[in-house]
Structure 1
């Protein structure tokens, strides 16, 4: 009788899946290095965008006396990820860029809308 040279099906599938493991790990490592390298500019831009959105929305809401839904339409292109939250009692608006930045602008009579102090 002749010996069968065919590999078992389960072993062939395992080796087929392994050929994608190294490229996947290389891509994940490259993304991790890029995120670590560019974290300062990313958080800086996100913080500036959140601060801008909070101040503009606060001015729109408490100086312009418009609704928050109407003020949300004034966001610039590229700021779709920033969400706005109003605190009517404190007369403030908080803009949040998910997982990265959050800024609050508060209306002060005689001064307009001012940004809260940044925490270091």
Structure 2
């Protein structure tokens, strides 16, 4: 079955281009992709090894923050913004910048939370003051 097409030695059907181009075009280097993947794996390992310590710091930060903010808000009757600055003075470590406070005026509670790590609530009662809820 003759097709009328002739091939040179080393050429194969389906290749097009100049008559001496039998080598494929070189793929670009993938060093940047590999570098990013290595960095992500290293970051994941670092997070995995430090997760327990971060979680413990988060529990301590939220517990302290909820207790101090509850006493500041409901015993001293100050605004929550003032209470946030008092909690910030404690310098609670790596999780201090992530700490957020919120209050529920009806139930007289203050909740301190660090996203993805911990959350703690302190409630106020006139006869016993501010008490933290039990840890999970």
TM over 0.5: yes
Name structure 1 gaps, 5 residues minimum.
none
Deviation at 1:46, TM superposition (A): 0.8
Max Rg structure: 2
The match for 1:85 is 102
TM-score by length of 1: 0.82
The two structures, once aligned, show a CA RMSD in angstroms of 2.3
- Total equivalences in the alignment: 114
Could you report, residue by residue, the CA deviation over 1:57-109 in whole angstroms, capped at 9, with x for unpaired residues?
A: 00000000111111111123452321110001111000011121111011122
Which of these residues, 66, 78, 99, is aligned with residue 54 of structure 1? 66
Residue number in structure 2 paired with 1:32: 44
Determine if the alignment matches structure 1 residue 71 to structure 2 residue 72: no
Determine which structure has the larger helix proportion and give its number.
Answer: 1
Measure the CA separation in 1 of the matches of 2:97 and 2:106: 26
2-structure distance, mates of 1:80, 1:58: 19
SS, match of residue 70 in structure 2: helix
Q: Which of 115, 122, 129 is the matching residue for 1:112?
A: 129
TM-score when normalising by structure 2: 0.73
